Structure 1
Amino acid sequence: MFHKKVKVFKIVLATFIIICIIGTVILGFLGNYLYNYALNSNAKKTIFSSSEKKLETSGEIKEPDQAWLLKKAKDITLNSKDGLLLHAYEINNKSDIYVIAVHGYRSEGLGMASYAKHFNNIGYNVLVPDLRGHGKSEGNNVGMGWPDRLDLLEWINVILKEKKNAKVILMGVSMGAATVMMASGEKLPSQVKCIIEDCGYTSVWDEFKLQLKNEFHLPAFPVLNAASVVTRLRAGYDFTEADAAKQVRKSKTPILFIHGDSDTFVPYSMLEPLYNAAKCAKMKVVIKGAEHAKSSVIDPNTYWNAVEHWVVKYTNQ
């Protein structure tokens, strides 16, 4: 009888181990698939793509402005802390004010050309980086703003080496907005005077949870958990730590929050948690009828009046 029970136990244990192995393999496959789909810089499909077209995530895309930026700006580079050669476009107008304009997911610095042109026309200096894995910058992974926040600190240092008394403005759209918000929670130099975020997400986990539901009709658990583990192994960060809301809570730098109330990709509902999390000086602007990253297109007067007022307010102090 005892030997029979031992035999049954061994069969149950073996079955359980096999099920665990199969489950781990399946989750590993799904985690790698989602990673490649969303965060592999070389992948053709992306989590923000529909069957009709790829989503533009850096606002107003104008080819003439991109040609203007290529002609106007000079190329500069730096080496990241983890050994990547990063690229940026720099426009120097011999002003004390420098705007670092950060692009969105699967875009590149050229996608911020219209913003760069606007700041240039005011007379500001502009630096437009290609985030790691985008444009002319090296990297095989999309950072979603998290490793990019540290790269942003390095770009700030590049400016301060050129001009110690510079007044630096951080501005980003979509993933670029998440990047500047994530940077806000770091120890920023006193020369960083204010931040402007346009339609950034609360966290990578929240955004991917939404897209997983919209694109695949799947729940976050356990697929997103598996993808987060894979991302930790392959890209050096996980979805739970890449949290813009937690970072703005630590910010001492004033933040202007902008969001379109018709945004469904990074939903308008994310604006309030971000704004409420911030304990620094802050202001929010809601653009009526604007979809994702289209606020500057739908209502340019409200958009740019708010941006310029914010910059002047904190660079005159």
Structure 2
Amino acid sequence: MIVLVGVVAMGTLLVLFCCSLYRMAIHRSRKAFLSADPNMPKVEDSRIREVKEWFHAQSFEKAEIVSDDGLKLRAHYLEPEQGGRDAVILAHGYSGKGEDMAVFARFYRERGFIVLMPDSRGHGRSDGHYIGFGWHDRKDYVRWIEYLVKRLGEQARIVLHGVSMGGGTVLMTGGEPLPPQVKCIISDCAYTSVKGILTYQLKQMFKLPSFPLLPITSLICKLRAGYFFGEASAIRQLRNCCKPILLIHGGKDTFVPTKMADELYEAIRGEKEKLIIPEAQHGTSVLVDPASYAESVLRFIQASFGKQTQNA
């Protein structure tokens, strides 16, 4: 009897701990633990301040759609001065918001692109009580693609560009049926799957084993957010992707390990390129080597479009 009581007590504590893990990682809340993580680079220099000032000086239009499950999703929409039908959808990272992609928004707008910067579900100004890690977001981004095609017409040419969780989001989106207006996908420092990155982070950040914590937390996630960690896989989605893909990763990324870029690259069945910035940490490739980043991105887009991009 004492043994049984002990087992029940241990099981209860384990479930409660996994509920705490869910609230920390998946539930919509401030992710204070990220600021204490040594694997997350602290980036704040004059370029970041300058691009923030640029962002707040722009006259953005507010865009809004409704997701398949009834959430109101919001985005910033910005047209270039000279007009055009080339567009980019920018996908931000974990616990972020659309405006975090301002450095990319400026880059694309200066080259004649329309820029759409969504706040993913559970982030920023969009509805939602949980983080989808790209899985539920993939269908949201299909809706954003439809929004642009309807607005810009059949001649639109669309690029998907995401960083970190946003990189995983655009890869997972790529596995969905997409219209011909989507010409290519650029994924920067993405993970292979939610299960894979959480297994890595449990060990890296907290020195904890994935079993039995991850299976239990995954079940809680299924009950509360509607998905298992194992099903949220960029690797699996890439099997169905027919769009050209450029993978970018930092050679010194210890938050999402660089080897995940190699695994993703091997999983891509169609046209693909890979750029590793040797000295870059997580999400900093565009700052560490902006020349190589810009050259690779523009060359890749031009090849995917089939002709020179406007003002490239």
Same fold per TM (> 0.5)? yes
- Which residue does 2:88 correspond to in 1? 99
2:77 touches 2:115 (CA, 8 Å); kept in 1? Answer: yes
- In structure 1, how many angstroms separate the alpha carbons of the residues matched to 2:180 and 2:47? 33
Instruction: Give the counterpart of 2:244 among 232, 254, 260.
Output: 254
2:294 to 304, 309, 312: 304
Counterpart for residue 28 of structure 2: 41
Which of 65, 89, 92 is the aligned partner of 2:51? 65
Correspondence 1:200-239 to 2 at 5 A: 200-239=190-229
SS in 1 for 2:231: coil
Matched-pair contact (CA < 8 Å) for 1:248–1:277: yes
SS of residue in 1 equivalent to 2:32: coil
Q: In the aligned structure 1, how far is the partner of 2:221 from the partner of 2:67?
A: 19
CA contact (8 A) 1:130 1:137 kept: yes
Contact kept, 8 Å, 1:60 with 1:294, in 2: the verdict is no
Based on CA coordinates, which of the two structures has the bigger radius of gyration? Answer: 1
Query: Deviation at 1:69?
Result: 2.6
Deviation at 1:146, TM superposition (A): 0.7
Deviation at residue 154 of structure 1 after TM alignment = 0.5
Task: State the Cα distance separating 1:68 from its structure 2 match.
Answer: 2.7
Distance 1:297 1:55, change over 3 A: closer
Give the counterpart letter for 2:54 in structure 1: W
Please point out which of 138, 145, 149 is paired with 2:134.
145
> Which of residues 36, 48, 68 in structure 2 aligns to 1:81?
68
Alignment map for 1:160-171 (pairs within 5 Å): 160-165=149-154, 166-171=156-161
Mapped to 2, the partners of 1:86 and 1:22 lie a distance apart of 42
Q: Supply the distance in 1 between the matched residues of 2:148 and 2:36 (Cα, whole angstroms).
A: 38
1:190-212 deviations in Å (ceiling 9; x for gaps): 11100000000001111111111
Distance in 2, Cα, partners of 1:206 & 1:300 = 29
Give the SS at the match of 1:66: helix
Match of 2:12 in 1: 25
What secondary structure does 1:307 align onto? helix
Rounded Cα–Cα distance in structure 2 between residues aligned with 1:92 and 1:316: 22
- Contact map agreement 2:60 2:77 (CA 8 A) in 1: yes
List structure 1 runs of 4+ shifted beyond 4 angstroms: 51-57
Q: 1:242 to 1:56 in 2, by over 3 A?
A: farther
Deviation at 1:26, TM superposition (A): 2.2
Tell whether 2:303 aligns with 1:313: yes
The letter of the residue matching 1:142 is I
Mark the CA change 1:291 to 1:78 in structure 2 (over 3 Å): closer, same or farther. Answer: same
State the one-letter code of the partner of 1:115: F
Cα distance in 2 for partners of 1:150, 1:144 equals 12
From 276, 281, 286, the equivalent of 2:271 is 281
Aligned to 1:263, the other structure's residue is in SS state coil
Question: Equivalent residue for 2:36?
Answer: 50
2:100 is aligned to: 111
SS of the aligned residue for 2:261 comes to: helix
Separation of aligned partners in 1, 2:252 and 2:20: 30
Q: Is the 8 A contact 2:40 2:282 kept in 1?
A: no
Aligned partner of 2:172 in structure 1 is 182
- Name the SS of the counterpart of 1:230 in structure 2: helix
Segments of structure 2 that go 5 or more residues without pairing to the other structure are 308-312
Deviation string, structure 1 residues 84-115 (Cα, Å, up to 9, x no partner): 11110111232121100111111111100010
Structure 1: distance between partners of 2:170 and 2:52: 22
CA contact (8 A) 1:249 1:277 kept: yes
Give the share of equivalent positions with the same residue, in percent: 38
Report the CA distance shift for 1:122/1:108 in structure 2 as closer, same or farther (over 3 A). Answer: same
> C-alpha root-mean-square deviation of aligned residues, in Å?
2.1
Aligned length: 302
